[in-house]
Chain A
């Protein structure tokens, strides 16, 4: 038996892997009890995850609807007093020199009227550049957008098309329209722009009649002040600072991110209410878990006393219980998230089928599964598990082996 004569001189303690194994064996040896406890956690975690998945999904849909195609990095610059501070070429250059601007566009907006064959309609005329098109996605449905060197081309939206009585989008491409934009009170040299334009594209955005022509036409007419200056920051992080710098030049700024912030604010409150409902399930799960761990402790007092007598450190016995709680938490959380996510996915599919039958073409997700929510939920459950196991684990550590193993 000499091979058994191992010198255990080195001071070590039980490997975590072995402790984890004992925890696992203990949980699996009480299948019904562990299973029911797990079910409690699954329901608790699942309820919270399901509700938050819905809250976040809804927020995303609302944000998307409100923002449309605007970028959260976009900033609209305006002047608080157009008589004193003008948005002209000089001031725009000054803004453009600020750091962290990826793109800057200037545009003109005036009301105008449009004549095509026998019909005439009123609408808003935008004088834009290509940067404007980059920043505002115009949702092209036919033809093309404006090119850099275009002069007498025009892009019109679907509402305009309806107003002039054209139903076939394709048929309008290449046709000529007559546009008249009065420039009174604009300080321009010319009294109006009155020209023929060739339709190159049809877009599907905007509520009323809107048409887009190259801004060169307004510049050539001598309009001195831009109606709007839009810019795109290179990074959302640089956005607040950039806005501050522009505002220090005397201008006002607005950004879609303001709206997003407001939406987030409202949904923070909404999600808190949902979380409150979910917490009811969580409390039940926590009570179940506490009950299981406490009973397990009482049942295993002798076992723990034995292990301490055989040479385990009391703090390892605490760890044994912590491992059991963490195992229950992680497994319960994963199953709970999986189940809630699957349920959300089914509802998403059903909602989309329903929406499509009502003529909605865009796919949407009412329930979403952001990575941060998944890991946040698991982390949260582990934290809850650690809190629940605190007292049982402390009692396990304090078990006196002599008392535990005393013969009755």
Chain B
């Protein structure tokens, strides 16, 4: 595995104003993500995971600190460059998938390529290949809205892959899926890393997937703790996670 740094987060803080109060969502995050690695961000709801993803994907300028991708601070880009950066460098998969409802599956998958300036025939040709890559070639002409959750999620994977990005951000992609479909998506993510040399940033609740990570970012109350994917750290985190889950269940019972 290459040791080159892909994403470097230095001293990133994100706070929001809620009324008179300033809420710290991310507190001085400092970590880096290596090229061609499988990273897992994990933490309870409301811990700041989504905010962190938005910051990495260039949608949310942090209150302070820098986000460097390939050595360049992405928030020094002009807005149009930042849009191009998103289309060119990042593939995004959400928990709930969104589609341009008037377009069919193939056209939706081709969108990131269109945003890069590709004409429809070229973009759709490339999109067709990625659709086939995730085993959804037969659904090209169908509306994605009519497909099952698992199918939609695979098409979302194809859309994220279409522009052969540097890294894929998957925000709880298995959250709405059953175990079998969820596993398929995770397998796809793994093969993306292998075949396309993509860097994967996976946000998940599911502790089962933690052992898959090359690096794990534990986030709680806005604090990001990075640990390498060795067994000891993972086991500790598993226990910590189990404990929180149990606490939650007790609270629900009361």
In the complex, per-residue mask of B64-94: 1 if CB is within 8 Å of any chain A CB, else 0: 0000000000000001110111111010101
In the assembled complex, B206 has its CB within 8 A of some CB on chain A: no
In the assembled complex, A371 has its CB within 8 A of some CB on chain B: no
Instruction: Give the docked Cα–Cα distance between A116 and B195 (Å).
Output: 113
A1's partner among B54, B86, B163, B196 (CB-CB below 8 A) is B196
Contact segment of A176-184, A213-221, A309-317, A373-381: A309-317
In the assembled complex, A248 has its CB within 8 A of some CB on chain B: no
A28 / chain B contacts, CB cutoff of 8 Å: 102
Residue in chain B with minimal CB distance to A311: B87
Question: 8 Å CB contacts to B: which residues of A1-28?
Answer: 1, 3-6, 8, 10-15, 17-18, 21-22, 25-26, 28
B86's partner among A310, A316, A405 (CB-CB below 8 A) is A310
Inter-chain contact B92/A310, CB cutoff 8 Å = yes
In the assembled complex, A306 has its CB within 8 A of some CB on chain B: yes
Inter-chain contact A10/B98, CB cutoff 8 Å = no
Inter-chain contact B59/A407, CB cutoff 8 Å = no
B123 / chain A contacts, CB cutoff of 8 Å: 18
Inter-chain contact A6/B111, CB cutoff 8 Å = no
Inter-chain contact B86/A4, CB cutoff 8 Å = no
In the assembled complex, A261 has its CB within 8 A of some CB on chain B: no
In the assembled complex, B188 has its CB within 8 A of some CB on chain A: no
A17 / chain B contacts, CB cutoff of 8 Å: 119-120
Instruction: Give the docked Cα–Cα distance between A7 and B44 (Å).
Output: 38
Inter-chain contact A11/B119, CB cutoff 8 Å = no
Contact segment of B125-133, B219-227, B242-250: B125-133
Inter-chain contact B159/A407, CB cutoff 8 Å = no
Instruction: Give the docked Cα–Cα distance between A187 and B84 (Å).
Output: 94
Instruction: Give the docked Cα–Cα distance between A407 and B73 (Å).
Output: 28
Instruction: Give the docked Cα–Cα distance between A402 and B171 (Å).
Output: 13
Inter-chain contact B119/A311, CB cutoff 8 Å = no
In the complex, per-residue mask of B157-201: 1 if CB is within 8 Å of any chain A CB, else 0: 001010110000000000000000000000000000001100000
Inter-chain contact A8/B95, CB cutoff 8 Å = no
Determine how close the nearest CB of chain B comes to the CB of A319; give it in whole angstroms: 13
Instruction: Give the docked Cα–Cα distance between A1 and B83 (Å).
Output: 26
With contacts defined as CB atoms under 8 Å apart, how many contacts are there between chain A and chain B in the complex? 113
In the assembled complex, A29 has its CB within 8 A of some CB on chain B: yes
Instruction: Give the docked Cα–Cα distance between A15 and B116 (Å).
Output: 9
Residue in chain B with minimal CB distance to A23: B102
Determine how close the nearest CB of chain A comes to the CB of B205; give it in whole angstroms: 13
In the assembled complex, B231 has its CB within 8 A of some CB on chain A: no
Known: A5-B164, A6-B126, A18-B114. A311 touches B83 (CB 8 A): yes
Question: 8 Å CB contacts to A: which residues of B99-133?
Answer: 99-103, 107, 111-112, 114-120, 123, 126, 129-130, 133
Residue in chain A with minimal CB distance to B85: A311
Residue in chain B with minimal CB distance to A299: B101
A4 / chain B contacts, CB cutoff of 8 Å: 126, 129-130, 133, 161, 164, 196
Known: A1-B196, A25-B103, A307-B100. A312 touches B129 (CB 8 A): no
In the assembled complex, B96 has its CB within 8 A of some CB on chain A: yes
Inter-chain contact B88/A8, CB cutoff 8 Å = yes
Determine how close the nearest CB of chain B comes to the CB of A242; give it in whole angstroms: 58
A310 / chain B contacts, CB cutoff of 8 Å: 86-87, 92, 111-112, 115, 159
Instruction: Give the docked Cα–Cα distance between A315 and B60 (Å).
Output: 18
Residue in chain B with minimal CB distance to A5: B164
Known: A405-B94, A407-B96. A21 touches B115 (CB 8 A): no
B204 / chain A contacts, CB cutoff of 8 Å: none
Determine how close the nearest CB of chain B comes to the CB of A146; give it in whole angstroms: 71
Residue in chain B with minimal CB distance to A408: B96
In the assembled complex, A100 has its CB within 8 A of some CB on chain B: no
B112's partner among A11, A15, A311 (CB-CB below 8 A) is A311
Inter-chain contact A306/B81, CB cutoff 8 Å = no
B87 / chain A contacts, CB cutoff of 8 Å: 8, 310-312
B119 / chain A contacts, CB cutoff of 8 Å: 15, 17-18
Residue in chain A with minimal CB distance to B97: A306
In the assembled complex, A191 has its CB within 8 A of some CB on chain B: no
A303's partner among B98, B107, B117 (CB-CB below 8 A) is B98
Inter-chain contact B95/A407, CB cutoff 8 Å = yes
Residue in chain A with minimal CB distance to B196: A1
Interface centre among A13, A310, A314, A402 (most CB of B within 10 A): A310
Residue in chain B with minimal CB distance to A27: B102
Inter-chain contact A6/B103, CB cutoff 8 Å = no
In the assembled complex, A322 has its CB within 8 A of some CB on chain B: no
Known: A1-B195, A4-B126, A4-B130. A311 touches B98 (CB 8 A): no
Instruction: Give the docked Cα–Cα distance between A312 and B79 (Å).
Output: 10
In the assembled complex, A302 has its CB within 8 A of some CB on chain B: yes
Known: A5-B164, A311-B84, A313-B79. A14 touches B117 (CB 8 A): yes
A315 / chain B contacts, CB cutoff of 8 Å: 80
In the assembled complex, A256 has its CB within 8 A of some CB on chain B: no
A30 / chain B contacts, CB cutoff of 8 Å: 102
List residues of chain A with CB under 8 Å of any chain B CB: 1, 3-6, 8, 10-15, 17-18, 21-22, 25-26, 28-30, 300, 302-303, 305-316, 401-402, 405, 407
A13-B117, A307-B115 given. 17 additional CB < 8 A pairs?
Answer: A3-B129, A11-B84, A12-B116, A18-B120, A21-B120, A22-B103, A25-B103, A25-B107, A29-B101, A303-B100, A303-B101, A306-B98, A307-B100, A311-B88, A311-B116, A314-B79, A401-B59
List residues of chain B with CB under 8 Å of any chain A CB: 54, 57, 59-60, 79-81, 83-88, 90, 92, 94-96, 98-103, 107, 111-112, 114-120, 123, 126, 129-130, 133, 159, 161, 163-164, 195-196
Sampled A-B contacts (23; CB under 8 Å): A1-B133, A12-B84, A13-B115, A14-B114, A15-B117, A15-B119, A17-B120, A18-B119, A18-B120, A25-B102, A26-B102, A29-B101, A303-B99, A303-B101, A305-B98, A306-B98, A309-B59, A309-B92, A311-B90, A312-B115, A313-B80, A313-B84, A316-B115
